[in-house]
Structure 1
């Protein structure tokens, strides 16, 4: 007891002298503590108050949390005899998970703003077992008066960094905090072992496709000093050279374009114009695992010459607002073909905006703006005879040509060409082989990218669609709602996005549309296609989580599920909120 009291007096005296004389030597104070005190003082941390900030937008169901949660619960069981808080933070010292062994220690932690959502970075709360770990890059055990802020000096915390097992990057911090009298050096050892188990879980969580992509990326990056990008279905890797080469908007555009290209052949050599006007070249190859494409690894080079096609601007059509390279290439190709009067084939997934692209481009061209759509059920009759042979000719769009009877389609195309009509058609991607005989009628084709390859356009698309769905109304999306939309894969493309916004507007006709106003399916990013029964279960889980205020214990009880089963289902369906 006497040693502990003497130690506290030494620390208190040294800290008080440091506050009066910032350059004073600090004999007897551990080097990492002294260094942290000096950083805290230099950053203006108030030693008399906890002044951290709450962050409402944290991803509390991230891969890190998913891998760490079972380990955290096991660690809490190991130290259940001691009143402690077991905490996981992200790489910015923001608390993602907190598990308490007693309600009393939880109330104390709440009083110190040591709770989920709050930041505990050193620059806000001084020396502690979270922020100081990140500053130091290694384990820290802070006991009693070693804390810089007085309010924390009755407590102890043992923190260890959690690193990505492949990149070595710090992903977060695992920490155990308790009252100082309950502290023991054993806590740091327990936390270190637990952090190691989380890292093993992170390694196991990386599937074969991610591993193969990472392996090729490291090989290409090791032998090149240039900018290297790796893009998978759920993974993006970039080196420092690429991050400093492009601005953030261009970087998103390059990533979107890489996802667009990776399913179009084993080798890539493409030039693209980025939103800023920069022109780059992407050269690389795809990664295949088990017969499927896992991703693309490419070297990105900036070209000095600026070569591009001028793109006409339209008033403000929703789907015409796009900065992704694939979208701009489709727009430019459509402009070139329709300006020349050449028959145009538009390839893309259903709902991706193929017909809207044609309508918007035609409206932007001189003398354009009249579009006639013809579907498989409309082909009967002599509609071609009604097309004027002089003046402004309409653009006739054969909708979903891959669904037409081949003989009927051939007759319609012949009649239209005989009537001198301007001709375009839409087909799905990839175009069916049965269409080979019909494709000779088209001299140009463009491919419309799916919405999942246009993430940089999402905010503009949402704004345009809201203006169409709620004209004249003050309606906008919250940041949380937009993040929810960005995490969803949009298999139905722009059409599905429009439907989701329409449903949200029925719940929130005016004002700020929040994540809870969006349909349940938007809050799911599953790793594989879901069966109808899975969709029902997923929506029920999202609804229960919303009704319980995201309280997983209450949601599990309402659903009649064990808590562990609920966590597994949340991970299985990729539920994001």
Structure 2
């Protein structure tokens, strides 16, 4: 690789070039991986394809190819009516069914956008492979507005000699519209809060943590043993499973007087200032940092953390970043809440006491509902449910719990269905309520209520004491 040419390109692109070289991507040939199947059943594809069709109609006379990829860089669809650019893109395999992640296609717009999770423009000679240097590519990642997971990317590609000033703005607008459409069709669920990159000190809890199941305590003990031996630990697990709590408890058991910080990932554009904020703390005596959700960090940021790894503990929901995975000595999984049902009630009392400052009582019906629910968002969801319920009463009964706790539906509900389900549960959880009373209040027949209860998976035996 020409060092002078490498030094002339921006830092993010330079880091991507170095990664491409490390992956063994050839500079003189585009050789992306091909798959025979493309999944077009996702909500992201449905919304993204609809948005790009509208944009394509507007740009039909322009030599621009509009593409959607999944989170792994697999091209799902390509919209373009310019014969010359279509033939050219086919020659470099930038077509549906081919993976254009950095790992197999080197530095390119969509690959870098996915790696760094931020809007990216790669012009002409900034591409790693010579075969791609005839193009300018603008790509923007799309994050699922509900789950916060990386859904894929929107990519616009044109000839390198074309003006690129508006290309990235168009890609950003298309990605933003796609995310907004996904939220509108996501059953009325609230958007996940944007990452804020908080860095704060972890203090000992004023409420004594409850004694939990063997599955949890064994995981804490495994992490603590590895930390005691000076090994680098990563805690993995589902969203909301308590990964940071597990890492904190393990560290506290090893070094109870240590200054412990938690760094949560920021939005991609704020990563630079976020790193500058807390990395100087690593050099201070008796200080440890728990870096949460490192799988959400841009690739360049993960690479920046690698030389400092001995000073902190990691958590991740998905796979560890490529730059960090080889440096981790021990991976400990935080068990999902549904796999340790004995912890649900102790945690419910703990969360209620922590928020209200005193003991809160749960009726037998409320306990039955809490224990029967699968808690798809794990401990985080339990904490939110208990906090809201305890704020309403010192004795939590079924009418203080949200409708979701009494239902089990394996598909998305529309906004109207969510309202209908919640109203049925509200009527049925009122003290002394019967099907006949709920029928009269809602103005629908009893047979209809039974049918709706079956449709929404409402568990009648948990609705009353």
Tell me the TM-score normalised to structure 1 length. Answer: 0.40
Normalised to the residue count of structure 2, the TM-score between the two structures is 0.50
Which structure has more RCO (C-alpha within 8 Å, separation ≥ 6)? Answer: 2
* Larger Rg over CA atoms: 1
